[in-house]
Amino acid sequence: MGVLDQLRNEATRKQESEFSSSIEGQRLEHEYQTAILPKMQKTYHFLKEIVDHLNYLEKAVEVKGYSNSYRQFGTLFQTKYQINTDGYSGVGDFNRIMQINVTFVCQGLGEFRYSVEGNAQVEQEVAFLHSKHIPFTWRRGVEKASFTVTRRIPVRFKFEVDFNNSKINLFINNHENFNAYSKTFEPEAVNDALLDEIVRFMLRQDSDFIRLEITSHDKHRIQKRVEEERRLRDKLLEEIKRQEAKAADSRAEYVLFKKIKLLAWKKKK
């Protein structure tokens, strides 16, 4: 193959790849505009009204025993709800929502102090508090450090568009015991019932939302896989029975053949 032919082939492959990418991009954009964006707009309206009512009512949710590891936090109160899209203080482009954030704080009075020994443990403690955005100061000694922590824990519920997979992700940070949760939803699964379930969890009215880890989509997928495995197992059992029957027939033929051979031998004698 000459250089010109090689370059032609490479150019053709690149054009085909670009065309394929363009078609896939158009498909994903269509999915976003028709299936995902309306759900994100609905989610924003629903949560915006929730936030407005909570702030107007000044309704503080009591949070007891937030953390097993940091019992010094004591009883906290959940307040100061805010909502924004795509990192803006309010709403960015309402016709291009890619992210919705609901944030609030769990806070109590004053501060508490404790010490951590060992350089590695001190570094881990500093990294942990920074990662969870907990207000604190610390003073380092020779082999230990003293920490002063403010009783204020920021919490975030983030809805984010997974554009390439045409899904909606939910990330929850610091809601309880500094845990991080994540869930993925098909656009059609995002309805009033689901949003109400999420808000009930947000307001600590129940934990059904987190306990129910398997979505209806996942249940259907698992059920389908179980049915396929059952069909494969039944097919395998049928094949085993068929092979066993064939082997039994072969053994019967062999025994009959031996008997005939034995009779023939006796007649010769």
Share of the chain above pLDDT 70, in %: 77
Q: Is a pLDDT exceeding 90 seen at residue 66?
A: yes
How much is the pLDDT for 116?
A: 94
Which residues lie below 8 Å from residue 192, measured CB to CB, with a gap of 6+? 46
CA distance 81 to 102: 7
Average per-residue pLDDT for the chain: 84
Reported pTM: 0.70
Going from the C-alpha of 226 to that of each of 133, 186, 215, 231, 265, the distances in angstroms are: 43, 22, 16, 9, 57
Kindly indicate the confidence band of residue 244, based on its pLDDT and cuts at 50, 70 and 90. Answer: confident
133-175 tens-digit pLDDT? 999 999 998 889 999 999 999 999 999 999 999 999 999 999 9
Which residues lie below 8 Å from residue 196, measured CB to CB, with a gap of 6+? none
**DSSP sequence for 174-212:** SSSTT-EEEEEE-GGG-SHHHHHHHHHHHTTS--HHHH-
Token pair listed for 131: 């990662």
How much is the pLDDT for 249?
A: 66
CA distance 117 to 125: 10
Q: What is the domain partition of the chain in residue ranges?
A: 36-213, 214-269
How much is the pLDDT for 94?
A: 82
- Which phi and psi angles does 122 have, rounded to 5°? -65, -45
69-90 tens-digit pLDDT? 899 999 999 999 999 997 666 6
